[in-house]
Homo-oligomer: A and B are copies of this chain.
Amino acid sequence: MTMITALDTFDVRFPTSRELDGSDAMNPDPDYSAAYVIMRTDQPGLAGYSLAFTIGRGNDVQKAAIDALAHHILGLDLREVAGDLGGFSKRLINDSQLRWLGPEKGVMHMAIGAVINAAWDLAARLAGKPLWRFIADMTPEELVATIDFRYLTDALTPEEALTMLHAAAPGKPKRIEQLLAEGYPAYTTSPGWLGYSDEKMQRLAREAIADGFRTIKLKVGMNVEDDIRRCRLARETVGPNIAIAVDANQRWNVPDAIAWLRHLVDVKLEWVEEPTSPDDILGHAAIRRAVAPVPISTGEHTHNRVMFKQLFQAGAVDLVQIDAARVGGVNENLAILLMAAKYGVRVYPHAGGVGLCELVQHLAMADFIAITGKKEDRAIEFVDHLHQHFVEPVVIRNGRYIAPQTPGFSAQMHADTLTQYRYPDGPVWMEPVDIVNAH
């Protein structure tokens, strides 16, 4: 028997606010951070790695929430964790006392998601497969057994999910070959941060196209005149055949979103992301109706499957983002992907931050193989920073994510990063600011 022996956590922060990478209308000065988790076993060399992503202050609270889950895990037989990913997830999510702190939202749900994702990493490593392949190789019955259908059955039943997965199963071997040969489309937000000058935006947009990207995204929402100018400039720069999305990061009230977006209709946007509160399902539906045919989306802050369910039921969105580290782990994201497939809503996974690209690529690839069979009408977000801190960083070639081949969920960080960027006492945080910028 192999036993879970420790749940080690780390408050790791990167001083990204010292430049303006990651600046948007709601997040002017993020310090991209991770509440990082190592789920250790007594088998030499075997551990599960995962993280919850935050943007600085509060990363210590996120770490404390993960620590509060240790009693659920320490001493467990590995078979109760990696061998029963559905049962393991339900035990954490349905802890009746911890549930009060959500339920299924915010700090505690992200903590549970991080621990569940560490269990999936461990399971995939045990199987010797990258996570996307580990999911793709599950039978429909095995995959459905990982999902908690509580609160979902008015939109998706286990039987419907099984039917969808069985229908997709015969094509899996061919799609695995396709994925390995072609990669999965990426899109890039790198040109579009609000802190960048017009010239820097245009230069980065041209570079993105030269690098093979077919979709770019700009941040909007601070000033309507600026947005009109920047979006038109971007359209002139990239031409009519590159898709341009915009992201307002929850900046607007519903009536303001409608008024603002009417100014941007002529830019021919691929989608408008997070026009208002991520909680406002009816608000997204109202915006979508008012500015049609401008496509509306949200999802990176959508906190659980019940909220995604309603976005689909209300016809509130044309497409959605999913985030690997916001909801209750792989299990809940599989439920969301299945609902999106049933409702015919395309998924453009949210990434960037710290490790979000590394994690979410596996979910998109598993969706292509095992659920929807589609990848060329969608794309995974890509932002090119902080990948050097990961043992198996994402590989982007010609604007596409190359499928990872090494076992696991790709979230393991270098030991040196944990030492250097530990908050508040790692060397990076102890140095004077002008030295830090040289890193």
Contact = CB atoms under 8 A, between A and B. Distances in A.
Interface of A: 26-31, 54-58, 60-62, 64-65, 68, 95-110, 149-154, 250, 253-256, 276-283, 286, 301, 303-304, 306-307, 309-310, 313-314
A311 to B, nearest CB: 10
A137 B81 CA distance: 57
A61 B55 contact: no
Nearest to A149: B253
Closest A-B pairs by Cβ, 5 of them: A106-B106, A107-B107, A57-B97, A56-B97, A154-B254
B58 A100 contact: yes
A253 B151 contact: yes
Contacts of A277: 103-104, 150-151, 306
A95 to B, nearest CB: 7
Nearest to A110: B101
Nearest to A109: B106
A277 B155 CA distance: 14
Contacts of A68: 57-58, 60-61
Interface-centre pick from A55, A97, A152, A283 (highest chain B CB count, 10 A): A97
A282 B285 CA distance: 13
Contacts of A62: 101
A210 to B, nearest CB: 33
Given A30-B96, A109-B106, A279-B307, A254 B153 contact: yes
Contact of A58 (B108, B256, B281, B307): B108
Contacts of A256: 153
Given A105-B303, A108-B106, A280 B57 contact: no
Given A54-B101, A61-B65, 13 more contacts: A55-B100, A57-B68, A58-B65, A58-B108, A64-B64, A103-B278, A105-B106, A105-B303, A106-B106, A106-B108, A151-B254, A279-B306, A279-B310
B107 A61 contact: yes
A151 B277 CA distance: 7
